[in-house]
Structure 1
Amino acid sequence: MKERIERLKKLTYIPQKEIAWLIEQAELSVKQREIIEENKRQQDVTVHQFRQAQKDIQHLSGDRKRYKQALEKIITNLNFAITVAKNELEGDAK
């Protein structure tokens, strides 16, 4: 392709066949540029979605940790209440 372009630069008259080839190459270049731009846009969207997912995971991990701690406190309090109730029942039984 490079050689063909150099050969065309040297011509004073460009044959119809060569003009058609130039037009075809220009159209191809435009299509390739559009594809590259669309791929870049899709890549940007994917990066944004990935970063958002990371933030969501961090947020959910924090929520999970808080819920787990709250649940552990509830279980501890329930175990304590069960122990107190057992002691009272044993005391009433004696």
Structure 2
Amino acid sequence: MKERIERLKKLTYIPQNEIAWLIEQAELSVKQQEIIEENKRQQEVTVHQFRQAQKDIQHLSGDRKRYKQALEKIITNLNFAITVAQNELEGDVK
């Protein structure tokens, strides 16, 4: 392709078929640029979605930790209540 461009630069008259080729190459270049732009846009969207997912995971991890702590407190309180109830029952039986 470079050789063909260099040859065309040297010509004073450019034949119709060469002009058609130049137009075709220009159109191809425009299409390639559009594809590159679309790929960049999609990449930006993907990066944004990834970052949002990371934030969501961090948020959910924090929620999980808080729920786990609350559940542990409930279990501790229930165990205490069960122990008290058992002691009361044992006291009633004696």
TM tier relative to shorter chain: over 0.9
State the 1:8 CA deviation: 0.6
- Identical-pair percentage: 95
Q: TM-score, normalization: structure 2?
A: 0.99
Number of residue-to-residue matches in the alignment: 94
Aligned residue in 2 for 1:23: 23
Unpaired stretches in structure 2, ≥5 consecutive residues:
none
Distance in 2 between the 1:88 and 1:2 partners? Answer: 96
State the 1:33 CA deviation: 0.2
SS in 1 for 2:14: coil
Q: What CA deviation, in whole Å up to 9, does each residue of 1:22-70 have, x standing for no partner?
A: 0000000000000000000000000000000000000000100000000
Q: Which runs of 4+ in 1 moved over 3 A?
A: none
State the 1:88 CA deviation: 0.5
Distance in 2 between the 1:6 and 1:16 partners? Answer: 17
State the 1:17 CA deviation: 0.4
Q: TM-score, normalization: structure 1?
A: 0.99
Q: What CA deviation, in whole Å up to 9, does each residue of 1:63-85 have, x standing for no partner?
A: 00000000000000000000000
RMSD of aligned C-alpha atoms? Answer: 0.4
